[in-house]
């Protein structure tokens, strides 16, 4: 079995794969203050709840955009599983050519998402990740990562409204009844949901122009389903895209000793 770990700024996603098939997955808040031993305890508890024997998990791989947490999780997995994880980053085979001015500057989550999207849906493709930041990534027909766009994410945009507009409350983000809100909460929900849907439509359309034609568009991230429902450009919502990408990259490097 393989443990795939995606450390994001807001959430950390964990997946257990058995012969390429996802058998369990969890999403927890990213906590920069937890110690190695707290993460070990958390993992063991999750395994126990889902009835997974920790002895059956032989390997692990990490994609991280939170550098201070990478070594903490690395040592936690080493203690928990008895083997060193693959850290996805520069020098790790991904099977994808990166047409980026400085390839090491591309977040590991964006790369593994692009790898998974190309393998699962072909190219050209566009990946929209509704995470802490909203990212748009383009992959060519031949499987080259071309680059993308980065915008503020939904969560931090809502938090900025709450913090900087004295009369605006914190809200739960759900699909609004319509775009013309009849109260403040409804109006905020409409602005965020339809605003981000419109952003996705426009950026995807511009990317398709630069790609020279049509492209398959896949969305991922915690709020992808909510926003995708209001768009016409998103072909598929795949919440496990990044975990699948970690698995694919691990399989490419499984015979390479961890260093």
Q: Respond yes or no: is residue 109 known to be catalytic.
A: yes
Name which of 78-87, 139-148, 157-166 the model is least confident about: 157-166
Q: 207-257, pLDDT tens digit by residue?
A: 999 999 899 999 999 889 999 999 999 999 999 999 999 999 999 998 775
Q: Rounded to whole angstroms, how far apart are CA atoms 30 and 46?
A: 16
Question: Which 8-state DSSP code applies to residue 20?
Answer: T
Helix (H, G, I), strand (E, B) or coil at 95: coil
Mean pLDDT across 54-79: 95
Residue in 37, 97, 101, 109 annotated catalytic: 109
Instruction: Write the pLDDT tens digit of every residue in 197-208.
Output: 999 999 999 999
Q: Which CATH fold topology does 103-242 show?
A: Nucleotidyltransferase; domain 5 (3.30.420)
Q: How far is it, in rounded angstroms, from Cα 17 to Cα 43?
A: 15
Does this chain's domain 2-87 share its CATH topology with 103-242?
A: yes
Reported as a pLDDT band with limits 50, 70 and 90, residue 162 is confident
| Span 2-87 CATH architecture | 2-Layer Sandwich (3.30)
Domain boundaries, the chain: 2-87, 103-242
> What CA–CA distances, in Å, run from 51 to 33, 36, 83, 186, 248?
28, 23, 21, 42, 25
């Amino acid at each position: 079995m393989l443990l795939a770990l995606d450390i994001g700024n807001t959430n950390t996603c964990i997946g257990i794969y058995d012969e390429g098939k996802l058998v369990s997955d969890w999403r927890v808040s990213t906590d920069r203050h937890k110690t190695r031993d707290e993460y070990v305890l958390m993992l063991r508890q999750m395994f126990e709840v889902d009835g997974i024997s920790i002895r059956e998990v032989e390997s692990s791989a990490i994609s991280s955009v939170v550098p201070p947490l990478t070594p903490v999780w690395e040592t936690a997995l080493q203690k928990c599983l008895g083997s060193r994880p693959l850290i996805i980053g520069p020098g790790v085979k991904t099977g994808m050519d990166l047409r980026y001015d400085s390839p090491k500057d591309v977040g590991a989550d964006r790369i593994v998402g692009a790898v998974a999207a190309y393998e699962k849906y072909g190219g050209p493709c566009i990946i929209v990740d509704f995470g802490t930041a909203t990212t748009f990534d383009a992959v060519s027909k031949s499987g080259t990562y071309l680059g993308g766009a980065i915008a503020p994410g939904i969560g931090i945009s809502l938090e900025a409204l709450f913090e900087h507009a004295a009369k605006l409350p914190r809200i739960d983000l759900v699909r609004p009844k319509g775009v013309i809100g009849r109260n403040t909460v409804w109006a905020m929900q409409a602005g965020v949901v339809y605003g981000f849907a419109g952003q996705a439509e426009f950026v995807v359309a511009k990317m398709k122009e630069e790609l020279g034609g049509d492209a398959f568009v896949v969305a991922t991230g915690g709020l992808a389903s909510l926003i995708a429902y209001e768009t016409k450009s998103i072909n598929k919502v795949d919440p496990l895209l990044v975990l699948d990408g970690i698995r694919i990259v691990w399989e490419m490097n499984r015979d390479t000793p961890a260093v």
